[in-house]
Amino acid sequence: MSDSLAHVVRGRAWVFGDAVNTDVMAPGIYFKAPFEELARHCLEAVNPAFAREVRPGDIVVAGRNFGVGSAREQAAMALRHLGVGAVLAVSFGRIFYRNALNFGMPALFFPAAAEIRAGDEIEVDVVAGRIRDLTTGGEWTVNGLPPHLMAMVGAGGLMPWLKARLAAGRAGVAP
């Protein structure tokens, strides 16, 4: 479940390790298929149940260098399409990180990712950077998304944000 006004995301944790490649998030073999087909195979090489069982608002928690690999934006798009509410990782592949934000999915650097267990109920305030494991009672604070990035994420990503700004006649004005 997601609360857009408070910027709070709450869902089950899907835990992954280090160096999860964009190729397993968006397998190239499905690039010519409809996007829904590609999304159905998201992360199946590391967790065959993920795309089938992930629910809107669920949170991906990962180790170092999540989203390493090619610059395929379909990796972030697939997670967003499946309803992932946020991604927490020790570190990110640079292009994946930017693609996640560009497609309206919060991504936070979370050094304590190893303390989260698969299936734990997690609550993330993406602006304040507060992460709570409602299953274990663990709480952490990380750097949240700054207001200018949250405005873009909250609009659904870069393109919807730009379209709204152009429609309002403010394309060249900083938020």
Give the relative orientation of helices 94-102 and 147-154 as an angle to the nearest 10 degrees.
Answer: 60
Q: Residue 141 falls within a domain, yes or no?
A: yes
Taking the C-alpha atoms of residue 64 and residue 34, their distance in angstroms, rounded to an integer, is 31
Q: Which residue has the higher pLDDT, 120 or 166?
A: 120
Q: Residue 20 falls within a domain, yes or no?
A: yes
- Say which residue the tokens 């006004």 belong to: 5
Average per-residue pLDDT in the chain? Answer: 92
- Say which residue the tokens 């989260």 belong to: 116
pLDDT at 167 over 90: no
Contact 114, 135 (CB under 8 A): no
Q: What phi and psi values does residue 165 have, to the nearest 5 degrees?
A: -70, -40
CATH classification of the domain holding 67: 3.20.19.10
Q: What is the reported pLDDT for 172?
A: 58
In 50-138, DSSP assigns E strands to: 59-62, 86-89, 107-109, 121-125, 130-133
Q: Residue 99 falls within a domain, yes or no?
A: yes
Contact 47, 62 (CB under 8 A): no
Q: Residue 136 falls within a domain, yes or no?
A: yes
Q: At 35, which helix (H) or strand (E)?
A: helix 35-39
What total of structural domains would you count in the chain? 1
pLDDT digits (tens, 9 = 90+) for 81-98: 999 999 999 999 999 999
Q: Residue 156 falls within a domain, yes or no?
A: no
Q: Residue 174 falls within a domain, yes or no?
A: no
Taking the C-alpha atoms of residue 82 and residue 86, their distance in angstroms, rounded to an integer, is 11
Q: How confident is the model at residue 5 (pLDDT cuts 50, 70, 90)?
A: very low
Which region among 34-43, 73-82, 145-154 has the lowest average model confidence (pLDDT)?
145-154
Q: Residue 155 falls within a domain, yes or no?
A: no
Q: How confident is the model at residue 70 (pLDDT cuts 50, 70, 90)?
A: confident
Q: At 8, which helix (H) or strand (E)?
A: strand 8-15
Percent of the chain with pLDDT over 70: 93
- Host domain of residue 134: 2-145
Q: Residue 152 falls within a domain, yes or no?
A: no
